[in-house]
Amino acid sequence: MQQNNSTTEFILLGLTQDPMKKKMVFVMFFIFYLGTVVGNLLIVVTIKSSRTLGSPMYYFLFYLSLADSCFSTSTAPRLIVDSLSVKNTITYNECMTQVFALHFFGCMEVLVLILMAFDRYVAICKPLHYPTIMSRRVCTILIVLAWIGSFIHSIAQIILALRLPFCGPNLIDHYCCDLQPLLKLACMDTYVINLLLVSNSGAICSSSFVILMISYIVILHSLRNHSTEGRKKALSTCTSHIIVVIIFFGPCIFIYTRPPTTFPMDKMVAVFYTIGTPFLNPLIYTLRNAEVKNAMRKLWHIKITSESRR
């Protein structure tokens, strides 16, 4: 797996080297990660078990929650464990695996957000054709294409990472392995690879954000023709989606669409979209969505009732 490397492992410097702050990092991110996994899996179980959440929007939300759990799992557990360790080493192969997982599930989240925007566009702007356009077969094909697209993107990233030769310092000033911090350690001119990184990850982030914002502007513009009740419901759903898009793509664009320079705030920005966004998504989608809240209440009421009867 290695190419032209004398480096077999890296040392992750994490968010801080201060022992007291490391304990705070452990407590804080353990709570965040636990909340992320429980919140997203609760949505997954609710959508899978509920008969009222069978529409394409919830079909895509199911995969968004799944991607969120995996995306957070690609970085958070190591950050939590490393906050209790003295020397935080990661092998070369583990580092490459983390790069792959981070980009695979991150790209999956991007593509599912686009599918959710497309679903809302068809539902609001083409309501009569909605059942035909967004049939279960079409939705399944779109999700399969999203998995394939994510795989292609992450393979492209891992190919770039594998081309980097490491022969000197092995200190990664980050809490996880990603191409940006790895470029700083490479024993070669990384201008071309950084250009490829920007044209791959940067282009995906920027173009997806533009597509999503244009689609929601079109959707909101078309709401003028709807009834007050329909407008209120559609506005509530779209607002949730727009909030998620902004808090995910803002940091993502900041990290991946710039020259090979690093800033002190990079790690905190990365924390926001790798750990913060997956934690916030379940809260945003459940607190602002009456159908999901009602389905959750029914599901857990049935479970509690069946348990008490035993």
Which amino acid is located at 215 in the chain?
S
Task: State the pLDDT at residue 140.
Answer: 96
Residues 6+ apart with CB under 8 A from 199: none
Judge whether residue 303 has pLDDT over 90.
no
Judge whether residue 94 has pLDDT over 90.
yes
Judge whether residue 238 has pLDDT over 90.
no
Residues 6+ apart with CB under 8 A from 181: 172, 173, 174, 262
Judge whether residue 59 has pLDDT over 90.
yes
Task: State the pLDDT at residue 6.
Answer: 67
Residues 6+ apart with CB under 8 A from 29: 76, 79, 80, 83, 275
Domains of the chain: 9-148+166-285 (1.20.1070.10)
Q: Which whole number is the average pLDDT over 277-299?
A: 81
Highest mean pLDDT among 64-78, 189-203, 263-277, 280-294: 64-78
Residue 165, both tokens: 């030769």
pTM of whole model > 0.75? yes
Task: State the pLDDT at residue 1.
Answer: 46
Judge whether residue 141 has pLDDT over 60.
yes
Quick one: what percent of the chain has pLDDT higher than 70?
93
pLDDT band at 243 (very low <50, low <70, confident <90, very high): confident
Q: Which whole number is the average pLDDT over 251-259?
A: 82
Q: Identify which has the larger pLDDT, 284 or 155.
A: 155
For the chain, give the mean pLDDT: 86
Q: Identify which has the larger pLDDT, 262 or 77.
A: 77
Q: Which whole number is the average pLDDT over 188-204?
A: 83
Angle at the Cα of 35 from the Cα atoms of 274 and 153, rounded to 5 degrees: 25
Quick one: what percent of the chain has pLDDT higher than 90?
40
Q: Identify which has the larger pLDDT, 137 or 303.
A: 137
- Contact assessment for residue 105 and residue 70, using Cβ atoms and an 8 Å cutoff: yes
Burial class (CB in 10 A: 0-12, 13-18, 19+), 150: buried
Range from 57-66, 145-154, 238-247, 286-295 carrying the lowest mean pLDDT: 286-295
Judge whether residue 3 has pLDDT over 60.
no
Task: State the pLDDT at residue 210.
Answer: 92
Q: Identify which has the larger pLDDT, 146 or 219.
A: 146
- Contact assessment for residue 37 and residue 279, using Cβ atoms and an 8 Å cutoff: no
Q: Which whole number is the average pLDDT over 42-69?
A: 90
